[in-house]
Amino acid sequence: MAKPFILVVDDQAEIRQVLEKLLKTNGYQVEDAADGKEAIEKIKTGVFDVVITDLKMEDYSGIEILRIAMAQPYDPEVLLITAFGSVDSAVEALKMGAYDYLEKPLDLKKLVVIIERALEKRKLKSEIVGLRREVEKYHSRTNIVAESPQMLKILESVKLLSRTDSTVLIEGESGTGKEVIARTIHLWGPRRNKPFIAVNCGALPAPLLESELFGHVKGAFTGAAKNKKGLFEEADGGTILLDEIGDMDLPLQIKLVRVLQDAEVRKVGCNFPVNVDTRIIAATNRKLESLIKEGKFREDLFYRLHVIPISVPPLRERREDIAPLLNHFIEKYSRKFKKKIRGFLPETLSALIQYDWPGNARELENFVERMVSLSGSSLIKPSELKNFISLRERPSEKPLSRPQNLKLSALYNTIEKEHILKILKKNLWNISKSTKDLGICRSSLWIKMKKHGIGNHYNKENIE
């Protein structure tokens, strides 16, 4: 470990010399400063473990030095040296976060003990920070939002089956959180410290997928310049998620049945198998039963995968999860974009809960990411949804399926209509007041009212 680095601040040269000598003989690295100004410069440019400062100096007080030291990202421990009798300021310093204080004349033995303790505290602090980071990393990987009875029930089974090695089949529409559930099964079980590998079986042509999953030997096909481990082997001891299993072609399905049966894989171009201890989780957004009927999915594979089935309902069937998911992603993206977004206005939220989310949690996540990155205010207003939607529809943006955009526009319209109606009612249909509340001009309000058919309910007698 590097030598602890200590800064000594005192305007009396003798004290600095005594302390410097004492600290150096105790194995510390020492820097000194003869006044507050010099100390502040050094604090801002150096990285000290401990700062020892006199409480009373010509230019700055020790309290000032303490405040600046504590504002540094490296967060040193601060010890104050006080003149006999100035206990009040010392107590104030302790309240502000100083580690301790010592009265003059200095008891050097006591000083050494205090510094050792301060360094010990610093070590513990950094260990805690490290542990907290670990925990956060773990949580951010497992963070699964589940408030609806359906999701809570799924989590109950996840808890139980995470301790087993059974094959699990997760069914659900696209974006419902199948991969999150698979990852949770892995992380809650004894395999958590081994790899979790997700493979999209629909993304690669069959021969490539086979060599990805099972590996190949050198020369097995043109371009196979080296032996290559397959993902089953890479995930040995851990878990493999075979995503979009319904897209796997039939010959490969036969090979997969063998893996499930014998717990061994055969590399492409190799005659002997390799044992693997990889837990298999499969996921699909297609109905495997209908694929079986169409002859596109093998029944024997289905039964081997279907040992424990989990069916994830679409978000529109578990609306209790919508608000918690919105909050979860607002928190995530506020942190990412360093914004202070508190959430949605109630009318925005209620419309978002009514929305059907055809793309499920993934659509919801993308929506929030964009909202947070575009929003300038801490509470998201219905009017901001419009910016978001129009940007989403810009051709330069990532392609998104048209129906989703149209549905979101419909959603925006509902929100806008509700919001305008609410404001009009609140102001007893007074247009001037309402335009002020809405932050739009009179003619825009008329146009919007006409668009939403609000004019039909509008009573002419209320025009001021």
User: Should residue 363 be labelled a site residue for Mg ion when binding is judged by CB under 5 A?
Assistant: no
Q: Which helix (H) or strand (E) holds 124?
A: helix 108-142
Q: Point out which span in 7-15, 31-39, 173-181, 220-228 binds Mg ion (CB under 5 A).
A: 173-181
Which of the listed partners (ligand ATP, Mg ion, none) does 174 bind, with a CB threshold of 5 to 8 Å by partner kind? ligand ATP
Minimum distance, C-beta of residue 442 to ligand ATP, in the bound complex (Å): 43
The overall longest dimension of the chain from CA atoms, in Å, is: 93
Give the interface segment with ligand ATP, choosing from 140-148, 215-223, 249-257, 300-308 (CB under 6 A).
Answer: 140-148
Token pair of 333, please?
A: 């993206």
Kindly state whether residue 247 participates in binding Mg ion, applying the rule CB under 5 A: no
210 vs 243, beta carbon nearer ligand ATP: 243
Residue 434 interacting with ligand ATP (CB under 6 A) = no
CA angle 206, 211, 212 (to 5 degrees): 90
Residues of 276-309 as b/e, b for ≥16 C-beta within 10 angstroms? Answer: bebbbbbbbbbebeebeeeebbbeebbebbbebe
Give the interface segment with ligand ATP, choosing from 127-135, 142-150, 220-228, 346-354 (CB under 6 A). Answer: 142-150
Q: Which of 49, 179, 363, 384 binds Mg ion (CB under 5 A)?
A: 179
Sign of CA dihedral 253, 314, 307, 168: positive
Task: Please give the size of the binding site for Mg ion, defined by CB under 5 A.
Answer: 2
285 touches ligand ATP by CB under 6 A: yes
Amino acid at 82: T
Which DSSP category does 380 fall into? E
CA atoms within 13 A on the CB side of 6: 27
**Do residues 42 and 51 touch, judged by C-beta distance below 8 A?**
no
Binding mask 172-211 for ligand ATP (x = CB under 6 A): x-xxxxxxx-------------------------------
- The H-or-E segment that residue 5 falls in is strand 5-9
Interface map 355-374 toward ligand ATP (x if CB under 6 A)? ------xx--x---------
C-alpha 46/C-alpha 40 separation (Å) is 10
In the complex with ligand ATP, which residue's Cβ is closer, 180 or 268? 180
> x/- contact string, 228-257, with ligand ATP (CB under 6 A)?
---------------x--------------
Q: Which residues bind ligand ATP (CB under 6 A)?
A: 143-146, 172, 174-180, 243, 283, 285, 328, 361-362, 365
